[in-house]
Amino acid sequence: MAELVLNAEVRNKVGKEDAKKLRVKNLIPAVVYGKDVDPIHCAINKNEINKLRKINRNSLINVKFGSEEKTVIVRDSQKHPLSHEYEHVDFQAVSMDQPIKIDVELSYVGTPIGKKSGGIFTSILNQVKIECLPNKIPDVIKLNIDSLDAGDSLHVSDIKAEGFTVITNPKIALCRVSEVKEEAADEAAPAVAAAAPAAAAPAKKAK
Structural domains of the chain, ranges and CATH numbers in brackets: 4-94 (2.40.240.10), 101-188 (2.170.120.20)
**203 vs 154, more confident:** 154
Confidence of residue 185 (pLDDT cuts 50, 70, 90): very low
* Strands 141-144, 100-109: pairing kind: parallel
Contacts of 96 (CB under 8 A, 6+ apart): 71, 133, 134, 135
Q: What is the pLDDT of residues 59-92, one digit of tens each?
A: 999 999 888 899 999 999 999 999 999 999 999 9
Q: What is the pLDDT of residues 102-160, one digit of tens each?
A: 999 999 999 999 998 899 999 999 999 999 999 999 999 999 999 999 999 999 999 99
Tell me, what's the pLDDT at 138? 93
Beta strands across the sheet bearing 153-155: 120-123, 173-178, 153-155
